[in-house]
Amino acid sequence: MVDTVAKTPGAEDIHVDAPTTHEKLIQFVSDIAELTTPDRIHWVDGSEEEYAGLTDELVAAGTFTRLTSPDFPNSFAAFSDPADVARVESRTFICSEAERDAGFTNNWVDPAEMRETLSGVFDGAMRGRTMYVIPFVMGPLDAEDPKFGVEVTDSAYVVTSMRIMARIGTDVVRRMEELDAFFVPAVHSVGAPLEPGQDDVAWPCNKEKYIVHFPETREIWSYGSGYGGNALLGKKCYALRIASAMARDEGWLAEHMLILKLTSPQGRSHFISGAFPSACGKTNLALIDPTLEGWTAETLGDDITWIRPGKDGEFRVVNPEAGYFGVAPGTGWHTNANAMRAIAKGNSVFTNCALTDDGGVWWEGMTEEPPSHLTDWQGNEWTPDSETPAAHPNARFCTPIDQTDMLAEEYYSADGVKLDAILFGGRRKTTVPLVTESRDWNHGIFFGATLSSETTAAAEGAVGKVRRDPMAMLPFIGYDAGDYLNHWVRVSGQADPEKLPKIFLVNWFRRNRDGGFAWPGFAENSRVLKWIVERIEGRGEAVETPIGLTPTPEALDTTGLDISDEDLHDALRVDPQEWRAELADIEQWFERFGGSLPQSIQGELQQLRDRMGG
Ligand code: GDP
Ligand code: PGA
Ligand code: MN
Ligand code: MN
């Protein structure tokens, strides 16, 4: 741990005393210190001792509550400002040189203008606080071309969370020095400078928020929020938005996907990724415990996947992250025991969960029966009669991935694994059947391009509104959405067509005639995975429908499953009337691309129209 003292407020007095020879890094830290005028600079080494010191400080500051229940060893609960609970898409900006390059799915501001705004808001933003310097790498440190970043932040909560989510600290800096490597400079401030003598609050933040990306210069600037997706800059900002722009330029793909290894009773393994929008089931599927006998699932990742065309024309995937930042509500021993087991090993940070009377955390769905008394995420007394949820709907657990019992050994492979199937999925009450196989690769890209979902609590704004979310990347594409789909076509064009993954559209959330879920979901999704594997292996019965290939009710293994024929029918049904409405909506969606959509995808729409009878 290296602490450097800088005197407030004179910028000229700040001494960086960098424990590194990486000149660009020293320059970056000096520049940001000069701009934001922190009281101290702390170079994060990533050690246990440092973590212990920081968590002690966070407890003393009231940001963390140390959990004393033996069920949550070495773990902490944090409670955010009630107005800082989710990603802020309306305050997220892609500042490319040309407006056209940000595309219609992003907020754009001229980079020169944004730089001026940022120099204003960041001026003195860290006054009275410590500036932490976090060197990190997304993906393996021994990768051929490791993807480095350095986050400077005035939040110790961010440091402790980044230590779980990414590989950080001294090893990373040493490797950066050896390679004289490029790094993504990522600046974060909660935007709450302290005047001399001013008391801090438990969760400092600012009403004004800016989550800014400069894709050409690969820079990130985040201001005003402490919430994960806005503040842990290695995650969404780097590994998706900036990485998608890097991937466009370098010939790979940065995607919002889980990675699952599935082994059949015959001992054959397949790697399956799934792109579902935030809070639509990635973490649960990534950690599935199959109910079907003889099947084993192991995980490689639950949120972000980097895909590279391999030497033999296959798609290879790695998870650039080191932890879970998972939706807590709905995660329980009955729905996601693997997540619960990883959490039970401790070393976790819980944000906006409820506190139990014995010093643990609880959230809706953790146990079937709620405890009789809790302290809710806003610090109020809570009983099962209370009208508001005990945990915020977007409450999160942050847990190291290497605590997962079912972690696949391939997680550690710098070279990744060959991808066999891609699932695109969302939350749709109607229209979209449980599972549909694409007719071919191009039709699969059409599935991704037209993916839709009801909105969730993972982002600010209304919940439950259907919106198009291409490849589940709507909030994360760091450039023009049409260019992004063209890039998918281009990258896959370089792969061996025989080795391209099969593509499926899934929907665990369709409702039955009584308004309940038609399909039980969670572990029972293994039955859908079995059919998918059968299709990969060239078996499995499917029927042709205008929208693609769906299983017959008999083709889905429902042995021992408690589901009525009506529900199964409702889950699998392709309803022509619903699809006519869907078609009209897709047509409107495609118009928004204003000509930048790939011809081949446009062509798929015409074919769908034709198959549906004009
Ligand atoms: P992620 O944000 O995409 O990783 O989604 P999660 O796996 O964390 O799940 C988000 C929410 O959806 C949680 O409340 C889950 O309990 C719920 N969920 C996940 N999978 C299923 C499923 O198969 N069926 C139903 N009904 N709910 C699910
Ligand atoms: P999620 O991750 O996809 O697990 O919800 C966080 C997010 O996308 O904001
Ligand atoms: Mn996500
Ligand atoms: Mn998740």
Q: Which of 123-132, 353-362, 459-468 is predicted least confidently?
A: 459-468
Mean pLDDT in the chain? Answer: 96
Cα–Cα distance for residue pair 258/272, rounded to 1 Å: 8
pTM (two decimals):
0.97
* Angle formed by the axes of helices 111-122 and 23-36, nearest 10°: 60
Closest ligand (CA of 336): 1
CA dihedral (343, 295, 419, 415) positive or negative: positive
In a domain, 229, yes or no: yes
Percent with pLDDT over 90 in the chain? 96
| Residue 181 shares a structural domain with residue 163 | yes
Q: Which of 11-25, 190-204, 312-326, 344-358 is predicted least confidently?
A: 11-25
Supply the CATH number for residue 273's domain.
3.90.228.20
Structural domain containing residue 238? 2-49+88-251
| Residue 186 shares a structural domain with residue 298 | no
**How many angstroms separate the alpha carbon of residue 551 from the centre of ligand 4?**
27
Structural domain count, the chain: 2
In this prediction, residue 15 has a pLDDT band, given cuts at 50, 70 and 90, of confident
- The bridge status of strand 130-138 relative to strand 76-78 is unpaired
User: Mean pLDDT, to the nearest integer, of 103-128?
Assistant: 98
Asked which of 195, 223, 251 is the last residue of a domain, the reply is 251
User: Mean pLDDT, to the nearest integer, of 124-132?
Assistant: 98
| Residue 267 shares a structural domain with residue 230 | no
Complex ipTM over 0.90: yes
| Residue 606 shares a structural domain with residue 475 | yes
**Model confidence pLDDT, tens digit, residues 259-272:** 999 999 999 999 99
In a domain, 236, yes or no: yes
State whether the beta carbon of 14 lies less than 6 angstroms from ligand 2: no
| Residue 558 shares a structural domain with residue 525 | yes
**Model confidence pLDDT, tens digit, residues 132-147:** 999 999 999 999 899 9
Contact 494, 253 (CB under 8 A): no
Residue nearest (by alpha carbon) to ligand 2 atom 7: 278
Cα–Cα distance for residue pair 140/359, rounded to 1 Å: 36
pLDDT number for residue 4: 56
237 given a catalytic annotation? no
User: Mean pLDDT, to the nearest integer, of 537-548?
Assistant: 96
CA dihedral (162, 163, 165, 166) positive or negative: positive
pLDDT number for residue 9: 45
Asked which of 251, 273, 296 is the last residue of a domain, the reply is 251
Contact 470, 448 (CB under 8 A): yes
Output phi, psi for 3, to 5 deg. -110, 130
In a domain, 528, yes or no: yes
| Residue 452 shares a structural domain with residue 499 | yes
Asked which of 222, 251, 280 is the last residue of a domain, the reply is 251
State whether the beta carbon of 282 lies less than 6 angstroms from ligand 2: yes
In a domain, 531, yes or no: yes
**Model confidence pLDDT, tens digit, residues 40-97:** 999 999 999 999 999 999 999 999 999 999 999 999 999 999 999 999 999 999 999 9
User: Mean pLDDT, to the nearest integer, of 542-546?
Assistant: 97
Instruction: Write out the residues surrounding ion ligand 4, Cβ under 5 A.
Output: 282-283, 326
pLDDT number for residue 14: 67
In a domain, 78, yes or no: no
| Residue 168 shares a structural domain with residue 280 | no
Supply the CATH number for residue 23's domain.
3.40.449.10
In a domain, 71, yes or no: no
| Residue 579 shares a structural domain with residue 483 | yes
What would you report as the CA-atom Rg of the chain, rounded to the nearest whole angstrom? 24
In a domain, 170, yes or no: yes
In a domain, 391, yes or no: no
| Residue 6 shares a structural domain with residue 115 | yes
Residue nearest (by alpha carbon) to ligand 2 atom 8: 278
| Residue 22 shares a structural domain with residue 141 | yes
| Residue 236 shares a structural domain with residue 264 | no
Q: Which of 255, 280, 432, 567 to mutate to test the pocket of ligand 1 (most atoms within 8 A of CB)?
A: 280
| Residue 42 shares a structural domain with residue 168 | yes
